[in-house]
Structure 1
Amino acid sequence: MEVSSGLSPKGNSNALHREKDEENVGPNPENVELETVSNDFQSDYHIHSLSALEILRETVRILRYNSTGFMTIVALLICPVSAVLLSNVLVDESLVKRLTLRLLLIAKSSGLPLNSFIKHSCQKFSEMAVSVTMCFPLFVTLSLLSKAAVVYSVDCTYSRKKFDPSKFYVIISKIWNRIVLTYLWVCAVLSGCVSLFLVLLVAVSSVFLIMGFSSDLIIYAAMFVGLIFSVVLANAIIICNIAVVISVLEDVSGPQALIRSSLLIRGQTQVGLLIFLGSTIGMAFVEGLFEHRVKTLSYGDGSSRIWEGPLLVLMYSFVVLIDSMMSTVFYFSCKSYRMESANEENEPVLEALTIASASTDVQ
C-alpha cells in the first residue's frame, strides 16, 4: 500500500481549519488548548527549524494537552522496562565478572595501566553489555511499543485528536514489522560502532606500546579516541532515534529509514546533540541516584527503598518519555522545515492507514 511520506503540522492544521469552516461547527472547549499548541508551533515555523529549547517547550505543551494518554504509556509500557533496567534484576553478576576480567586482560595486553579509572570503565561497560543483552526481549517489545505509542500520540496531538487505543492497535498491527526491522538495524549499527571503537582503541594502544611510549601517554591517546568515539556514537544514536520515528510515520524501514534520517537532520545535528545530551544527563542522574539510594544506601531496616525505588523508577520513565517525545518533535521540526523550503505539503500517514483499514472492514 502506497502512503505519503510524512506528516506536516502545518498541513494538518490548515486541513482541520477548512473542515471546521465547512461544517460551521462552534468552538469546542476541549480543543482550545490544542488550538494554542498548533498556533504556537506554526508561529515559530517560518522557514527556520526549532532550537533545542523550543523543542522542549513544544514537548511540554503537547504533554499538557494529552497528559492522560502519555501517563498511560508511562505506566503500562515504560515503567516496567525502567524498573528492570535500574534494578538489574536480569543481569547475571557472574557474566559481568567474567567479561570484566577479559576486558582487563585485553587492556593490560594493549599497554593500558590498570588504574581505578580503567577498572571502573571495564566494570561499567560489562554491566551495560550484559544488561542490554539480557533485556533485549523487553527492548524489542515493550520499549519499542512505547516509542511507537509516543509517536502516535504526538501525531494525534497535531491532528487535534485524543489517543485512541483501538486505532493505535489497528495501525501498529500494520506497521509493526517495519518498526521491528528498523530497530534491528539500529541495534546492528550501534553494535558496529561500539565494536569498531574497541578494535580502534586496542589498535591505537598497541601501536603506542610498540613505539615505546609511557603508560600515561597511552592512556591520553585512549582518552582522545574515546572522545572522538563519543561524538560519533552520539550522532549515530540521534540518527537511529529519528529512524525509528520515521519507520512509524513513513512507509520506509531498515536501512532506508536510517538513510532518510541522516538526510532529514542534515544541518540540524547540533539541535539533536543538545537533545541527546540533555536526555543522557537526566538518565545518568537518575541511575546514579538509584545506585546510591536504593542499591547501596538505606535507612535502618531499608524501608527507604520502598518509596525511593518506585519514585526513581517513575522519574527515569518520565525522562525516557520526554526523550521520545522530543525526538518525535525534532522529526516534525526537520520535516516541516524541509517541506516548507520545497513548498510541499503531505497528508498524515497514520490517518491514511486508519482510513484504509476502516474501508477494508466495511467491504
Structure 2
Amino acid sequence: MESPASNSPRMRLDHLRKEGSGETHSRVFELEPCDHDNWSNPRFGSMNALEILRETVRILRYNSSGFMAIAALLICPVSAVLLSNVLVDLSLVKRLTIRLLLVSKSSGLPLRPFIKQSCQKFAEMAISSATCFPLFITLSLLSKAAIVYTVDCSYSRKKFDTSKFYGIICKIWWRLVSTYLWVCMVIVGCITFFFLVLAAVCNSFAIIGFSPNLVVYAAMTVGLVFSVVFANAIIICNIAIVISVLEDVSGPEALLRSGALIKGQTHVGLLMYLGSTIGMAFVEGLFEHRVTTLSYGDGSSRVWEGPLLVIMYSFIVLIDSMMSAVFYYSCRYSTMESSDGEECQSILESVVVSPQAMDVQ
C-alpha cells in the first residue's frame, strides 16, 4: 500500500513567463505527488476564478472516467427529478403562491406581474426542495463526497477506487449528514430573515406614505442586498461540505472553519457562484420552455431534448462541485502559507490507511 506521505494531495503553482515579457505570469496547479513539507513551497499561491476553472478542467481530463460515472449514477437522476418537477404537487404550489401574495399585499407591495411571478417561482422552488430533500441528503450528498474524493485522488495521481471510497463513506457519512443539515438550517434561516426584513421595510414605507413605486424599489434594493449575503452563505456552505469530507470536523465547526478559510477570497467564490447559477438557470429555463411547455407534433422533441438538458444540467453541477473542491485547496494553501507552512494531511488518506478502513473493505 502506498504511504500517505508520498501520495498526499498537493497543489503546485508554477509561474510561467510569457516569451518576450517579464511581467506576465499565470499560476496553475500540477497533478503530481509530493510530500506534505512541500505545501509551504513559496511558488504556490491562491488562484482566481478563471484559474480555478482551468484547474477543474485539467482534473476532469485526468480522472474523466471517475467523474463521468459519478455524473451518470448520482447526479443525473437528481437532475432529472429536479428539472421535471415530477414530485411537485401543483395544488401545494398554488396554495403557497396565494399565501405569499396575501403576505405581499399586507406588507404594502403592489401585486404587479413581477411580484406574482416571483411568488410563484419561490413557491415552486420551496415545494420542490422539500419534496426532493430525500434525494438531496442521499444521492446528491453522496455525489458531492465522491467528487471531493476524486479530486483528492487526482492530486495524488490515483484513480477512483470504489472499495476505498466505500470505506471512507462508512467513516464520514454521519459527519457529512450533520454538516448538510446545518447547511440547510443556515439557508432556511437566511431566507426567513430576508422575508422578515422585506416585510418590515415594505410596511415602514407604506406606513410613512410612500408611493407603491417607491415601495417596489425599496423591496428590490433589499433583494439585491440579500442576494449578495445569500451568495456568501452558499459559498460558505459549499466549502463546509468539502471540509466535512476532507477534515475531521462537522456541523457548525465546519461552517466556522469554512468562513475563516475563505476570508480574503470571497470575491473568487462569488464569481464561481455567479457562473454556476447563471448556467443552471439557463438550462432550467430551456427545459421549462422546450420540454415542459412546448412540444412539436406528437411531442417527440421531448425524447431527445429532455435527456440532453438533464445531461447539461448535471455537467454544470459536476463542474460546480469540482470547483468548490479546488477552491478549498487554494484557500487551504493560502492559509497554511500565512501560518508558516503548518503541516496538513488529508483526512481521506488517514482513513484509507487506517486498520478500521481496511476491515470495512
**Could you tell me the TM-score, scaled by structure 1's length?**
0.88
Could you say what secondary structure the match of 2:353 adopts?
helix
* Match of residue 346, structure 2, among 338, 345, 348: 348
Partner residue, 2:355: 357
How many Å apart are 1:36 and its aligned residue? 5.2
**Equivalent-residue separation in structure 1 for 2:61 and 2:358 (angstroms):** 35
Partner residue, 1:205: 202
Could you say what secondary structure the match of 2:160 adopts?
coil
**Equivalent-residue separation in structure 1 for 2:169 and 2:357 (angstroms):** 17
The letter for the 2-side match of 1:49 is S
Q: State yes or no: 1:266 paired with 2:233.
A: no
Contact 1:104 1:122 survives alignment (8 Å): yes
What does residue range 279-358 of structure 1 map to in structure 2 within 5 Å?
279-342=276-339, 343-357=341-355
Partner residue, 2:31: 37
* Match of residue 177, structure 1, among 149, 167, 174: 174
**Could you tell me the TM-score, scaled by structure 2's length?**
0.89
**Equivalent-residue separation in structure 1 for 2:69 and 2:154 (angstroms):** 15
The letter for the 2-side match of 1:97 is K
- Identify if the C-alpha distance between structure 1 residues 133 and 359 changes in structure 2 by more than 3 Å, giving closer, same or farther: closer
- Identify if the C-alpha distance between structure 1 residues 47 and 341 changes in structure 2 by more than 3 Å, giving closer, same or farther: farther
- Identify if the C-alpha distance between structure 1 residues 327 and 347 changes in structure 2 by more than 3 Å, giving closer, same or farther: same
* Match of residue 99, structure 1, among 96, 99, 102: 96
Q: Is the helix fraction higher in 1 or 2?
A: 1
The letter for the 2-side match of 1:121 is S
Contact 2:149 2:165 survives alignment (8 Å): yes
**Equivalent-residue separation in structure 1 for 2:211 and 2:357 (angstroms):** 72
Partner residue, 1:129: 126
- Identify if the C-alpha distance between structure 1 residues 276 and 186 changes in structure 2 by more than 3 Å, giving closer, same or farther: same
**Equivalent-residue separation in structure 2 for 1:54 and 1:344 (angstroms):** 24
Tell me, which stretches of 5 or more residues in structure 1 are unaligned? Answer: 12-34
* Match of residue 53, structure 2, among 56, 68, 81: 56
* Match of residue 142, structure 1, among 131, 139, 142: 139
Contact 1:283 1:316 survives alignment (8 Å): yes
What does residue range 211-250 of structure 1 map to in structure 2 within 5 Å?
211-250=208-247
**Equivalent-residue separation in structure 1 for 2:88 and 2:230 (angstroms):** 24
The letter for the 2-side match of 1:9 is R
Contact 1:9 1:336 survives alignment (8 Å): no
**Equivalent-residue separation in structure 2 for 1:260 and 1:114 (angstroms):** 42
- Of all paired residues, the percent bearing the same amino acid is 70
**Equivalent-residue separation in structure 2 for 1:165 and 1:216 (angstroms):** 58
Could you say what secondary structure the match of 1:101 adopts?
helix
How many Å apart are 1:340 and its aligned residue? 2.4
**Equivalent-residue separation in structure 2 for 1:359 and 1:265 (angstroms):** 31
**Equivalent-residue separation in structure 2 for 1:67 and 1:311 (angstroms):** 19
- Identify if the C-alpha distance between structure 1 residues 146 and 45 changes in structure 2 by more than 3 Å, giving closer, same or farther: farther
How many Å apart are 1:339 and its aligned residue? 1.4
- Identify if the C-alpha distance between structure 1 residues 45 and 149 changes in structure 2 by more than 3 Å, giving closer, same or farther: farther
Q: State yes or no: 1:194 paired with 2:191.
A: yes
Runs of 4+ in 1 over 6 A off after TM superposition: none
**Equivalent-residue separation in structure 1 for 2:103 and 2:247 (angstroms):** 44
**Equivalent-residue separation in structure 1 for 2:247 and 2:180 (angstroms):** 15
1:237-273 Cα distance to aligned partner (Å, 9 max, x none):
0000000000000000000000000000000000000
How many Å apart are 1:190 and its aligned residue? 0.4
- Identify if the C-alpha distance between structure 1 residues 45 and 221 changes in structure 2 by more than 3 Å, giving closer, same or farther: farther
Contact 1:246 1:257 survives alignment (8 Å): yes
- Identify if the C-alpha distance between structure 1 residues 45 and 179 changes in structure 2 by more than 3 Å, giving closer, same or farther: farther
The letter for the 2-side match of 1:37 is L
How many residue pairs were aligned? 332
1:207-254 Cα distance to aligned partner (Å, 9 max, x none):
111111110000000000000000000000000000000000000000
**Equivalent-residue separation in structure 2 for 1:161 and 1:198 (angstroms):** 47
Contact 2:56 2:326 survives alignment (8 Å): yes
The letter for the 1-side match of 2:69 is T
Contact 1:66 1:162 survives alignment (8 Å): yes
Partner residue, 1:9: 10
Could you say what secondary structure the match of 1:9 adopts?
coil
* Match of residue 74, structure 1, among 66, 71, 74: 71
How many Å apart are 1:111 and its aligned residue? 1.1
**Equivalent-residue separation in structure 2 for 1:239 and 1:332 (angstroms):** 14
